[in-house]
Amino acid sequence: MIHAEPGPGGVHPERLRSLVAEWIARVGLDLRDRVVLTEAATGHFALTPVIAAQAGADRVLAVAEDSRWGSAREACDAVGAARRALGAPDRIDCLDRLDPDTLAVADLVTNLGAVRPLDAARIASLREGSVVAAMCEAWEIREGDIDQGACARRGVRVAAVNEDHPLVDVFEHNGLLAVKMLQELQIEVHGTRICVAGRGKFAARIAPVLARLGADVRRAEALEGEAALQAVEGADALVVADYDRTDLLLGEGGGLSIGALQKRAPHVAVVQFAGWIRPGELRAAGLRVFPEEEIGPRRMGRTMAYLGPAPLVGLHSAGMKAAEMLLGGDGPIGLAQIVVGGGDAARAAEVSR
């Protein structure tokens, strides 16, 4: 029997090849004659340049930098290994820095780690008519990641993606991501008492998934006041899922103190799904928290790639497709969300294959 070398994350390369091919076909991603600028990264994120290459990009420029997930060298090695494992065309150039000349040749730029921030200086180097792929929904774009005013002045369009589009439906993975994070804390979900705290789309999607799996789910719109204390009363777990708020939600000086939480739920385990909390204070009080590092506001504790490659491949294929549509390609009605653009860009949200 022949054993294939594993792909990113240890996943069998045949599964990864199938996933990438399926998603390119599903959203109709066609990057022929385009230059794509994205990041080189480790784990499942190594697949992003490969998706672009498999979708026909003329060139893929993948920028690597040192991060807590690995060194720039490791990121470049991961992308190269992924390309070989999937049999993608040899059109990926891994770069150790992002300079004006690189920005100037790009048609499509992804708003991913090593490419951010797309500030005024970087936007000034992009050519007029290029498109930034936000790689998320419009409301998820963080201040400082993309200078939208500079984009408008330069004639650079910005495309977000409708993650609830029937062809994509990747947002639904967030409920399962919360389940996995809870299980990291040995919260079995079924038969447990779980408080989901937060406003907006994340909390609204997570709570029903937990309820369907048999959890006793309580909701708190905000971690403050008597309503929040009642919601966490006797809870086995608290899932903090509020991406929109930028203030401290849980910890000294925040909406809810660790002492007040512990008084109502002495053994509670805390998942920081999204939103600013103080995990160090939780650990000091003898409470479990996942992840243990402080993530700050408007960030997810773990991305959907933590579940496996499928949601990342789906989101990044759809994110690049939304940008391709603003470059003039046809695509599914309602997939692209126009953040910055006008004229021909407005047509992109209303075209169909």
User: In the chain, what are the domains?
Assistant: 8-168+305-350 (3.40.50.720), 186-287 (3.40.50.720)
For residue 18, is it left (φ>0), alpha (ψ between -120 and 50) or beta?
Answer: alpha
- Which contiguous run of DSSP H or E holds residue 220? strand 216-220
11/30 Cα distance (integer angstroms): 25
Beta bridge partners of 217: 194
- In this structure, what token pair is assigned to residue 349? 């949200």
Helix (H, G, I), strand (E, B) or coil at 88: coil
b/e 334-350 (16+ beta carbons within 10 angstroms → b): ebbbbbbbeeebeebbe
Pairing of strands 35-39, 59-63: parallel
The amino acid sitting at 160 is: A
User: What per-residue confidence (pLDDT) applies to 342?
Assistant: 66
Helix (H, G, I), strand (E, B) or coil at 216: strand
- Taking the chain (353 residues) in consecutive chunks of 10 residues, what is each chunk's mean pLDDT? 58 96 98 98 97 98 95 97 96 96 98 97 97 97 96 97 94 96 98 97 97 98 94 98 96 96 97 98 98 96 96 98 96 95 58 49
Beta bridge partners of 250: 256, 277
Whether 8 contacts 43, CB under 8 Å: yes
User: Which residues, including other chains, have CB under 8 Å from residue 208's CB and lie 6 or more apart?
Assistant: 175
- Which contiguous run of DSSP H or E holds residue 86? helix 72-86
Whether 82 contacts 46, CB under 8 Å: yes
Q: Which of 96, 85, 86 is nearest to 62 (CA)?
A: 96
Beta bridge partners of 300: 274
Whether 47 contacts 312, CB under 8 Å: yes
Q: What is the DSSP letter of 236?
A: S
Whether 150 contacts 123, CB under 8 Å: yes
Whether 261 contacts 238, CB under 8 Å: yes
User: What per-residue confidence (pLDDT) applies to 8?
Assistant: 75
The amino acid sitting at 306 is: Y
Residue with tokens 């989901």: 196
Helix (H, G, I), strand (E, B) or coil at 23: helix
Query: Is the C-alpha dihedral spanning 299, 305, 311, 317 positive or negative?
Result: positive
- Which contiguous run of DSSP H or E holds residue 312? helix 309-326
267, HSE (Cβ side, Cα atoms, 13 Å): 7
User: What per-residue confidence (pLDDT) applies to 100?
Assistant: 97
How many Å from the N-terminal Cα to the C-terminal Cα in the chain?
A: 42
Distances from the Cα of 280 to the Cα of 7, 47, 197, 273, 293, angstroms: 35, 33, 19, 16, 8
Q: What are phi and psi of 139, to 5 degrees?
A: -70, -15
Q: What are phi and psi of 270, to 5 degrees?
A: -120, 130
Helix (H, G, I), strand (E, B) or coil at 95: strand
pTM of the model: 0.93
